[in-house]
Amino acid sequence: MPLLQLDRVHVDFPLYTARGRSLKNRVLALLGSKVKKKIEEHNQITTVHSLRDISLTLRDGDRLGLVGRNGAGKSTLLRVMSGIYEPVLGEIEIDGSLASITDMSMGMDMEATGYENIVLRGVFLGQTHAAARAKIPEIAEWTELGDALARPVRTYSTGMQIRLAFAVSTTIRPDILILDEMIGAGDAHFIEKARARMNDLVSATSILVLASHSEAVLRQFCNRAVLMHEGEVILNGSVEEVLTAYKELP
């Protein structure tokens, strides 16, 4: 059974200044005592507490919505769940195949053609070149890009790029799916198609974690939610409870 478990997870981000990034300054600070103090004042590395003490257990069938203002730590939490950032303290357990769609353009090589990008993304998701190539007809049909797929992606309009990226990102069927802010770009015809495709993907996954500002999206896809504020989970409950509390945030 797929499982995603976070146990008292903390994440601190070091904020390096240009000086804090300098090896020369670091070495000088070790050598000279006179300049040392001055340099140490500059070298101060401030850390930002991005996530504090987050514990969550997600099992088969859980569809969790992350609610919170910008900077509350939603995206950081999604990246911790995807295994990209490792917690400074605490444990995370991921059981099952996991895929995250946090930035549609990930892995899009602008110089490469649409076809090559489809294969590249497939390989990133652990497929063989042949398996990745097998997806081409379906993606070509869905995106309605046709012959444009033979051209470099940099020649595409923004709308075409999004269509391709969306189609390529959503061909996978992972156990655990992590989504950040579903896209709202594109024309009405495409948005309708994208919604249907997203529905297919979400219903095929066992665990979903979704960060969104849209109440409609959260109500449609999620069966539980957490409210995040300043790096902490301040409420863990039903979607309605969390949305109500979100509106009442000071």
Footprint of another protein (CB under 8 A): 10, 12-14, 16, 21-24, 26, 47, 79, 82-86, 88-89, 100, 102-103, 105-107, 109, 111-112, 116, 119-120, 123-124, 126, 128-129, 152
Strand, helix or coil for residue 94: strand
Per-residue H/E/C for 3-71: EEEEEEEEEEEEECCCCCCCHHHHHHHHHCCHHHHHHHHHHCCEEEEEEEEEEEEEECCCEEEEEECCC
Q: Toward another protein, which CB reaches closer, 96 or 107?
A: 107
Q: Identify whether the C-beta of residue 44 lies closer than 8 Å to the C-beta of residue 20.
A: yes
- The residue (of 85 and 221) whose beta carbon lies closer to another protein is 85
The tokens for 72 are 């509350």
| Nearest residue (CB) to another protein, 24 versus 189 | 24
What's the closest the beta carbon of residue 86 comes to another protein, in angstroms? 4
The CA–CA distances, whole Å, from 214 to 69, 156, 182, 210, 223 equal: 12, 28, 9, 11, 15
In whole angstroms, give the CA distance from residue 183 to residue 248: 26
Given a contact cutoff of 8 angstroms between Cβ atoms, the answer to whether 178 and 82 are in contact is yes
Place of tokens 């301040």: 234
The least distance separating another protein from the CB of residue 236, rounded to whole angstroms, comes to 23
- Give φ, ψ of 96 to 5 degrees: 120, 165
In the complex, the smallest distance separating the C-beta of residue 48 from another protein, rounded to whole angstroms, is: 11
To another protein, the closest distance from the beta carbon of 95 in angstroms equals 14
Collapsing DSSP to helix, strand or coil, 130 comes out as: helix
The residue (of 75 and 238) whose beta carbon lies closer to another protein is 75
Report, in Å, the least distance between residue 78 CB and another protein: 11
Nearer to another protein, 11 or 56 (CB): 11
Can you tell me the distance from the alpha carbon of 139 to that of 135, in angstroms, rounded to the nearest whole number?
6
Q: Which is nearer to another protein, 89 or 196 (CB)?
A: 89
The Cα 197–Cα 205 span in angstroms is: 13
At its nearest, how many Å lie between another protein and the CB of residue 52?
Answer: 10
- Cβ at position 123, least distance to another protein in Å: 5
Give whichever of 165 and 242 is closer to another protein, judged by the CB atom: 165
